[in-house]
């Protein structure tokens, strides 16, 4: 069994995917612990939830920094101080600078509410409904320098119904997100993910 991993989670809002990772850690499904949760918004609901679970919860406002990279450097400093092995973006509404990405190459995960490379960016569920696709879903991927572009770890499909609205599709996709994000974190913390170019290989136990 590899050493337990230290996980840092970045949020901007309610942190529902953060909670799914915390829950899986508490159930012993993940060989790791959420050691810090950081939000760029001091009033983020997820900070209170994280603190209630015993995780360190910090607010670092991007408005206090002159540019993206200086904010990123402050966040990375806090992550490195806590010896974080894996960074999980969970509704973090900030694009990461190339400097941040290079500091944690293949150690930053994000979850997106669509089957990438389809419908990147904001409102993936609305894009799917508007486009009339029959299948959408969720994707967990490693983060690279481009938006919603990095190597894909796990995807799971969700049927798009004829009567779906943005909200109804979002609700069903979110349930899938809460399943596959902890699954991807579990694989990372068990040292079972190998990245070669754009491909992520899941190695046997």
The domain locations on the chain are 5-202
Stretch 83-92: mean pLDDT: 97
Stretch 133-147: mean pLDDT: 96
Stretch 40-46: mean pLDDT: 95
- What does the pLDDT read at residue 49? 96
Choose, from 62, 112, 141, 178, the residue flagged as catalytic.
Answer: 112
- What does the pLDDT read at residue 205? 75
- What does the pLDDT read at residue 2? 85
141 is catalytic: no
- The CATH number of 5-202 is 3.40.50.170
- What does the pLDDT read at residue 125? 96
Q: Transcribe the chain into DSSP letters.
A: -PPPEEEEEEESS--HHHHHHHHHHHTT-SSEEEEEEEESSTT-HHHHHHHHTT-EEEE--GGGSSSHHHHHHHHHHHHHHTT-SEEEESS--SPPPHHHHHHTTT-EEEEESS-TTSS-SS-HHHHHHHHT-SEEEEEEEE--SSTT-SPEEEEEEEEPPTT--HHHHHHHHHHHHHHHHHHHHHHHHTT-EEEETTEEEE---
């Amino acid at each position: 069994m590899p050493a337990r991993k230290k996980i840092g989670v970045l949020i901007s809002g309610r942190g529902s995917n953060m909670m799914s990772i915390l829950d899986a850690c508490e159930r012993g499904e993940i060989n790791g612990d959420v050691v810090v949760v950081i939000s760029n918004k001091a009033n983020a609901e997820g900070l209170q939830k994280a603190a209630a679970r015993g995780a360190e919860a910090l607010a670092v406002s991007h408005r206090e920094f002159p540019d993206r990279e200086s904010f990123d450097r402050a966040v990375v400093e806090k992550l490195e101080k806590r010896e974080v092995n894996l960074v999980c973006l969970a509704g973090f509404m900030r694009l990461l600078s190339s400097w941040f990405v290079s500091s944690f190459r293949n150690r930053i995960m994000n979850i997106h509410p669509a089957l990438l490379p389809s419908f990147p960016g904001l409102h993936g569920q609305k894009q799917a409904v508007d486009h009339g696709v029959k299948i959408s879903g969720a994707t967990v991927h490693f983060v690279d320098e481009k938006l919603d572009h990095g190597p894909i770890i796990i995807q799971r499909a969700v049927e798009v119904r004829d009567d779906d609205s943005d909200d109804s599709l979002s609700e069903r996709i979110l349930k899938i997100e809460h399943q596959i994000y902890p699954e991807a974190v579990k694989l990372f913390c068990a040292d079972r993910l190998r990245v070669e170019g754009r491909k992520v290989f899941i190695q046997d136990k």
